[in-house]
Homo-oligomer: A and B are copies of this chain.
Amino acid sequence: MLNIHPLWGTSCVQGSCLAGRLNALAVLTNGEQAALARIEERTRTLRRGATLQREHDAVAECYIACRGTLMSSVLLDDGSRQILAFLYPGDLVAFPNLVYRAAPETVSALTDAVVAPLDRPTFAGLLQDHPRLVALMLASQQIERVELTDRLAAVGRTSAKARVGALLLEIRNRLRVLDGTGVKSFSLGLTQEEIGDATGLTAVHVNRMLRQLEEEGMIAREAGRLTILDERALQRAANYSDRRAGLELDWLPQGR
């Protein structure tokens, strides 16, 4: 039996996780939802720790994350790793595959996970039948881009404590959007080494930073669960700004 974390596709609409995501940007038509649902009929299941694709693999399709958590990363030739993104249901996974012959990044499953392949012919069909969906995907990519640049700024210009704090807040916010609640306590689902690989730190130093955040009363930890005690202080320490507000997409033309 698969153990799917954090949530079964609660954000899925009409059987499509991507529809759930895009629906938050613009209200989808029935035709659009049906088209997305058809794509996600065919799925692929991954065990926790499994690798969906490795860098430099020959690839011709990307994926839609349906259940579980995944991550994308790159390996440097000294053996160190940089985690680029954590992927949750509704996210587009390995999207650059549509453009590159060889995968630019590795994707692996942090928990048992389900993805739906989206190959080039399907994407081309989508472009012809439902061009607005492609525009919405492009919009979704912009949001991901801003997340990437925020992380770049954090890694390039902020302290270790700030980077760790920002990652905690980002993950908490993503989980919150998924399950719709305002929980302050959640299971991180990452080892300290993974936190380090995402923030450009060593696992040892991540540990010290978590301890420091704990000693300063911003977070609490117990049995793998993490509680944000003083969100305001943590946001200040982390230079964190949530950008989820301030989206505007009602100017797009009607869909089909």
Q: How many residues of A contact B (CB 8 A)?
A: 56
A157 touches B81 (CB 8 A): yes
Contacting A96 at CB < 8 Å: which of B145, B152, B239?
B145
Is A204's CB within 8 Å of the partner chain B? no
Is A200's CB within 8 Å of the partner chain B? yes
When A134-B134, A253-B124 are in contact, do A199 and B156 touch as well, CB less than 8 Å? Answer: yes
- List B contacts of A124 (CB < 8 A): 251-253
B157 touches A76 (CB 8 A): yes
B81 touches A146 (CB 8 A): no
- Interface residues, chain A, with chain B CB atoms under 8 Å away: 25, 74, 76-77, 80-82, 84, 95-96, 98-102, 104-105, 120-121, 124, 127-128, 131-132, 134-135, 137-139, 141-146, 148-153, 155-158, 199-200, 239, 243, 246-249, 251-253
B132 touches A243 (CB 8 A): no
When A149-B148, A155-B155 are in contact, do A141 and B139 touch as well, CB less than 8 Å? Answer: no
8 cross-chain CB contacts under 8 A: A77-B239, A82-B152, A99-B247, A100-B146, A104-B146, A127-B132, A128-B131, A134-B138
Contacting A102 at CB < 8 Å: which of B77, B128, B246?
B246
B153 touches A156 (CB 8 A): no
When A98-B142, A124-B251, A127-B252 are in contact, do A80 and B152 touch as well, CB less than 8 Å? Answer: no
A246 touches B101 (CB 8 A): yes
- List B contacts of A98 (CB < 8 A): 139, 142
- List B contacts of A142 (CB < 8 A): 95-96, 98-100, 141
Nearest Cβ distance between residue A122 and chain B, in whole angstroms? 11
Nearest Cβ distance between residue A162 and chain B, in whole angstroms? 9
